[in-house]
Amino acid sequence: MAEYPEIFPVTDYATQMLAVVDAELSKLRHDPMELLSRAVQPALWLVLFGQVMAQVRGLSAGINYLDFLAPGILAQSVLFVAIFYGIAAIWERDLGVLHRYLVSPAPRTALVLGKALSSGARGLSQAVVVYGLAFVLGIQVSLELRHVLGVIAFIALGSALFCTLSLIVACLVKTRERFMGIGQAVTMPIFFASNAIYPIRLMPLWLQAISRLNPLTYEVDGLRAFMLRNGVSTLGIGLDFLVLITIFTGLVAIAARLYPRMGE
Amino acid sequence: MYNRQSATLTPSSDTDSAISTSALCRHFGDLVAVDNVSLSVLPGEIFGLIGSNGAGKSTLIKMLTTLLPPSSGAARVAGFDIIAQAGDVRRSIGYVPQMLSADGALTGYENLLLSARLYVIPRRERAQRIAEALAMTNLTRDADRLVQHYSGGMIRRLEIAQSMLHRPKILVMDEPTLGLDPVARHTVWDDIRALRETRRMTILITTHDMEEADELCDRIALMHHGRIQIIGAPAELKRQVGPEATLDDVFAHYTGLDVEPEGGYRQARQARRSAREHG
């Protein structure tokens, strides 16, 4: 073919990856209700769960429990929004939309990264909701530019990671019914075996060990450092970032191999 | 030219073919979905894979479009090996899957833009090619509506437009008119014929609709239980089965489905016709 070069230059790769992102963003533009409906869950956690648990002494050692909880709930929303991509992928496969992506010359990693990046955009919309709630509830949110940029970076990375994980699960289980079951069985342990709603030091030792292997723990830790005024990272921002980026890279490599099998 | 056995069995030596397969097989566990298929599709022809549901047509198409790796055998599409040169195959073909593959949550224009970007059509040409594709499929006025509000025929035409944007040499369509009403069906047929006439494209379709095969295809290959039973022009195949035979008769003759004793085809047809007239 004379029209296209043999090896994809970076710009072509970016074009194909951003094509996927743009399509996802267009869907959100056409149906913003989807985002609003996803705002209900974080609101319930912060307003109901958070208000009650704030009465428990010593839960969050020193800082206000709601302050402690807000970044955890933001991370949780990011996780739940991203997990939706797996079921969407199965849906696209059943409809035939997926085949249109797979017969295109786009590199498989570009297709996976496109989905992962667009998940970041959905995650950021959740951040707007959680920041709004935090403001109403009087949570000590930092609006300093470098803090906001830090939050954006961690949301983008966390969304992309969990979106890719979800795509892998979808490729393995293949049907919507099974995904529903497995999706719950994956997200709930990720959530509860993390530092999202209680500190790791309260956990029994075996659970502490698991939580240290859990990417959500590092996501929450990073968000806690950037989202709050006087926020601190327990594990270290550098480590948080390194762990997330390493897991994400591994997951993309796996997903790019499995994704084409969805079209078989 | 197709009655020489060796010519049809070793088409991979025929470098002029738009599509050629040799001893292509695909198993799913114990099931042999495509069994030793060797065929060749010539440039510029409309070639039909016909057969009942489960005959192996879609599996064969999936291998030719690089969606599914073969269990054994080989195939070349537009001169490229479907395994070793999958990327080149993908750039050379347009594919309209059996299912409705346009995204209902996007507008017609957005669907076309997505395809244009996935195929990396140069930015300066994108707008013009999308406008042309919309005009050709008569969707210009509906370009900014969400596809979920389109009719089945409009979605099919949009998908054809999407698969044409990168100007492929070969268009592959799996059951292009499945589920469409008669008017929409004829419109899609007209689109397919127009593509062949104006762009000199090679078009491979699958269908289980004998009328479609008869109307549209220059040549057909009849598949049954994963194997090719017979290849030829519809008129030629009908002539071989008998005077006044239809493609339904050809189908019955080669698949063993619906088989009647000698002369039974015509009787059966007459019986059906009179039943229609009297019923």
Q: Could you report the per-residue pLDDT of A54-88, keeping only the tens digit for each?
A: 888 777 767 889 999 999 999 999 999 999 999 99
**Residue A230, CB half-sphere, CA atoms under 13 Å: how many?**
7
Mark which residues 100-159 of A lie under 8 Å from B by CB.
Answer: 100-106
Does the pLDDT of residue A211 top 70, yes or no?
yes
What's residue B130's pLDDT? 97
pLDDT of residue B134: 95
CB B223 within 8 A of CB B60: yes
Compare all CA atoms of chain A with the CA of B78 and give the residue at the minimum distance. A1
CB A87, CB A179: distance < 8 Å = yes
Per-residue pLDDT at B1: 38
> Taking a C-beta distance cutoff of 8 angstroms, is the pair B114, A19 a contact?
yes
Evaluate if residue B269 carries a pLDDT over 70: no
The pTM of this model reads: 0.87
Number of A–B residue contacts, CB under 8 Å: 87
Q: Nearest CB to B117: which of A19, A26, A99? A: A19
* Alpha-carbon Rg for chain B in angstroms: 20
Q: Residue B96 above 70 pLDDT?
A: yes
- Domain ranges within chain A, ordered by starting residue: 11-21+31-263
pLDDT digits (tens, 9 = 90+) for A114-142: 999 999 999 999 999 999 999 999 998 99
CATH code for residues B5-100+172-232: 3.40.50.300
The DSSP code sequence of A31-91 is -THHHHHTTHHHHHIIIIIIHHHTTSTTSSTTS-HHHHHHHHHHHHHHHHHHHHHHHHHHH
- Structure confidence by residue, pLDDT tens digits, B142-155: 999 999 999 999 99
**Res B2: pLDDT:** 40
Containing A192, the helix (H) or strand (E) segment is helix A176-192
The predicted complex's ipTM stands at 0.88
> Whose CA is closest to A16, among A104, A95, A91, A118?
A104
What per-residue confidence (pLDDT) applies to A35? 82
What is the Cα–Cα distance from A24 to B222, expressed in whole angstroms?
41
- The confidence score (pLDDT) of residue A133 equals 93
pLDDT score for A1:
32
B120 contacts A12? CB cut-off 8 A: yes
Mutate which: B85, B101, B120, B130, vs A, most A CBs within 10 A: B120
- Which among B97, B106, B113 is the nearest to A99, CB-wise? B97
**Residue B15 — pLDDT band, cuts 50, 70, 90?**
low
Model confidence at A10, in pLDDT bands (50, 70, 90)? Answer: low
Of the given ranges (A14-18, A204-208, B7-11, B48-52), which has the lowest mean pLDDT? B7-11
Residue of A nearest to B106 (CA): A27
**Residue B12 confidence class, pLDDT cut points 50, 70, 90:** very low
pLDDT at residue A54, as a whole number: 87
Q: Do B105 and A96 touch (CB under 8 A)?
A: no
Residue-level pLDDT at B84: 96
pLDDT, mean of residues B207-218? 92
Domain residue spans of chain B? 5-100+172-232
Closest to A196 measured CA to CA, from A223, A226, A217: A217
Q: Tokens for B78, please give them.
A: 């537009």
Mean pLDDT estimate for chain B: 87
The chain B residue lying nearest A6, using CA atoms, is B88
Provide the mean pLDDT of chain A: 91
